[in-house]
Amino acid sequence: MRLDRYLVEVGLGSRSEVKQIVKKGLIKVNGQVEKSAKTHIREGEDQIHYQDQELTYQTFYYWMLNKPAGVLSATQDSSSKTVLDLLDPDDWRKDLFPVGRLDKDTEGLLLLTNNGPLAHAMLSPKRHVTKVYRALVAGEMTVEDQKRFAEGIRFKDFTSKPAELELLQVGQGCSEVLIRIQEGKFHQVKRMVAACGKEVTYLERLSMGALQLDPELARGTYRALREEELALLQDYDVPL
Ligand code: URA
Pocket around ligand 1 at a 6 A CB cut-off: 102-103, 106, 187-190, 203
pLDDT score for 13:
84
pLDDT score for 64:
98
Q: How many angstroms is it from 133 CA to the middle of ligand 1?
A: 8
Which of the residues in the chain have pLDDT under 50?
A: none
Q: Are residues 201 and 219 in the same domain?
A: no
Q: How many angstroms is it from 185 CA to the middle of ligand 1?
A: 8
The percent helix, strand, coil of the chain (3-state, each to 5) is 25, 30, 45
pLDDT score for 97:
97
Q: How many angstroms is it from 103 CA to the middle of ligand 1?
A: 6
| Residue in 158, 113, 105 with CA at minimum distance from that of residue 133 | 105
* Closest residue to atom 7 of ligand 1, CA basis: 102
Q: Are residues 76 and 20 in the same domain?
A: no
Containing 198, the helix (H) or strand (E) segment is none
Torsion of CA 133, 137, 139, 145, to 10 degrees: -10
pLDDT score for 44:
80
Q: Are residues 113 and 67 in the same domain?
A: yes
Please report the atom of ligand 1 found closest to the CA of residue 184. Answer: 8
| Residues designated as active site | 103
CATH of the domain at 28: 3.10.290.10
* Closest residue to atom 3 of ligand 1, CA basis: 187
Q: Are residues 68 and 164 in the same domain?
A: no
Q: Are residues 190 and 142 in the same domain?
A: yes
pLDDT score for 14:
86
Q: Are residues 77 and 17 in the same domain?
A: no
Q: How many angstroms is it from 102 CA to the middle of ligand 1?
A: 6
Q: How many domains are contained in the chain?
A: 3
| Residue in 90, 117, 122 with CA at minimum distance from that of residue 222 | 90
Can you point out the beta strands (E) in the chain?
Answer: 27-29, 32-33, 48-50, 53-55, 62-67, 97-98, 107-113, 131-138, 164-171, 174-181, 199-208, 211-212, 222-224
Q: How far apart are CA 189 and CA 73, in angstroms?
A: 16
pLDDT score for 10:
84
Q: Are residues 223 and 117 in the same domain?
A: yes
Q: Are residues 153 and 191 in the same domain?
A: yes
Q: Are residues 84 and 103 in the same domain?
A: yes
Per-residue pLDDT of 21-40, as tens digits, reads: 999 999 999 999 999 999 99
φ and ψ at 209, to 5 degrees?
A: 60, -135
- Mutation test residue for ligand 1: of 177, 180, 188, the one with most atoms within 8 Å of CB: 188
Rg (CA), the chain: 22
Q: Are residues 16 and 73 in the same domain?
A: no
Q: Are residues 215 and 120 in the same domain?
A: yes
Q: Are residues 91 and 189 in the same domain?
A: no
CATH of the domain at 154: 3.30.70.1560
pLDDT score for 83:
98
* Closest residue to atom 4 of ligand 1, CA basis: 187
Per-residue pLDDT of 115-164, as tens digits, reads: 999 999 999 999 999 999 999 999 999 999 999 999 999 999 999 999 99
Q: Which domain holds residue 23?
A: 3-55
pLDDT score for 198:
98
Grouping H, G, I as helix, E, B as strand and the rest as coil, residue 170 is strand
